Amino acid sequence: MTSRRNFVKNAGLASVAAVSLAAPAVHAQAPIRWRMQTYAGAALGQHVIKPAVDAFNKAANGQMVIELSYADQLVPTGELFRAMQRGTIDCVQSDDDSMASPTEVTVFGGYFPFASRYSLDVPVLFNQWGLNEIWEAEYAKVGVKHISAGSWDPCNFATKKPIYSLKDLKGKKIFTFPTAGRFLKQFGVIPVTLPYEDVEVAMQTGELDGVAWSGITEDYTVGWANVTGNFLTNNISGAWIGSFYANMASWNKVPPHLQQLLRLAFDSSHYYRQHWYWGGEAKLRVEGKKMKLTTIPDAEWKTVELAGRKFWDEIAKESPLKAKVVQILKDYNAAMEKAGPPYRYG
């Protein structure tokens, strides 16, 4: 009995000693820190990214911390990709187009004209129609990890003067995305590039006549509804395609369990935006008091949709990979049209 007591006592002391020796190594280890910049300004960022970052930082329990910056705070949006590639920034939330990524898929990010009708089209295209694999491979070639893609709001015009017809677009100076601007030039639009936070002032000074950057939810959230006053219900895309990316070396330094936690946090961001934008677009059209709604007749707007398909064919000629993505978009939209309501109407 005495020997057994001594054994238990000594074993207990040994266990305490082992824990005491191991504990300092765990607690002394500094957390992994990532610098992240989003395309969004501070007001919009409260919805499209901050909740996800806050949730991740809490769930990581001191093992990793994401330090979030908003549009243009660390680098201009057009330099985001290069800064991430160099490792100056570890993680980015943006679209391929506006951050000027040097990949074959860049043109399809942001608002590729009429690629989607509804916000759910985007995750389906990426998760079920092969776009995830294409994006991941293209970014791996340039030292960047493509973590995941998701959808945002549609692309509508918000302008100081109401738009009733395509002719009303002629000569309008519009803040928009590179590819959207390239497409809209044929209708007389003058695309303008500015820092995101300068748009509201540019509207007031006359440097801009409007924006084709978002849906109505964003117009109200960031203050653009106050300086435009008119909202065109026709859109050139049903949802913006944006993604989360990371410097490949930074990503590889993160242990697998935290990589999975990052994916979960970013997926929560994708989910939040799905219902926030979808509900907001309808509610503000019905209840919003700051913007007058106008619509270009369907017959006239059909010419814009047909121009969109022609634009697809022009892009497809630029490379075999672009042709592959365009074919996926064609096949997907054909399947949705064949499926009929509620997938496609008319």
CB-facing half-sphere around the CA of 18: CA atoms within 13 A: 6
Q: How far apart are CA 204 and CA 48, in angstroms?
A: 26
Q: Tell me what pLDDT residue 151 has.
A: 98
Q: Tell me what pLDDT residue 28 has.
A: 52
DSSP 110: B
Q: How far apart are CA 248 and CA 146, in angstroms?
A: 9
Alpha-carbon distance values, 36 to 58, 69, 268 (Å): 16, 6, 17
Q: How far apart are CA 314 and CA 186, in angstroms?
A: 14
Q: How far apart are CA 7 and CA 225, in angstroms?
A: 76
Q: How far apart are CA 190 and CA 176, in angstroms?
A: 10
Q: How would you write the pLDDT of the chain (346 residues) with one tens digit per residue? A: 445 445 445 555 444 444 444 444 444 578 999 999 999 999 999 999 999 999 999 999 999 999 999 999 999 999 999 999 999 999 999 999 999 999 999 999 999 999 999 999 999 999 999 999 999 999 999 999 999 999 999 999 999 999 999 999 999 999 999 999 999 999 999 999 999 989 999 999 999 999 999 999 999 999 999 999 999 999 999 999 999 999 999 999 999 999 999 999 999 999 999 999 999 999 999 999 999 999 999 999 999 999 999 999 999 999 999 999 999 999 999 999 999 999 998 7
What is the topology classification, in CATH, of domain 31-153+239-282?
D-Maltodextrin-Binding Protein; domain 2 (3.40.190)
What CATH number does domain 156-238+289-339 carry, 3.90.226.30, 3.30.1330.10, 3.40.190.170, 1.20.1250.20? 3.40.190.170
Return left, alpha or beta for 32; rule: phi > 0 is left, psi -120 to 50 is alpha, else beta.
Answer: beta
Strand, helix or coil for residue 49: coil
Q: Tell me what pLDDT residue 7 has.
A: 42
Q: Are 152 and 280 contacting, i.e. CB atoms less than 8 angstroms apart?
A: no
Q: How far apart are CA 29 and CA 131, in angstroms?
A: 38
Query: Which residues neighbour 273 within 8 Å (Cβ) at sequence distance 6 or greater?
Result: 47, 48, 119, 150, 151, 152
Question: Would you state the structure tokens that stand for residue 273, as one six-digit string?
Answer: 């935006």
Q: Are 291 and 219 contacting, i.e. CB atoms less than 8 angstroms apart?
A: yes
| Terminal C-alpha separation, the chain | 87
CB-facing half-sphere around the CA of 331: CA atoms within 13 A: 12
Q: Tell me what pLDDT residue 317 has.
A: 98
Q: Tell me what pLDDT residue 29 has.
A: 76
Domain range list for the chain: 31-153+239-282, 156-238+289-339
Backbone angles phi, psi at 293, to 5 degrees: -90, 130
Q: How far apart are CA 93 and CA 49, in angstroms?
A: 8
Backbone angles phi, psi at 88, to 5 degrees: -65, -35
Say what the pTM is. Answer: 0.89
Domain 31-153+239-282 and domain 156-238+289-339, same fold? Reply is yes
Integer Rg of the chain from CA:
24
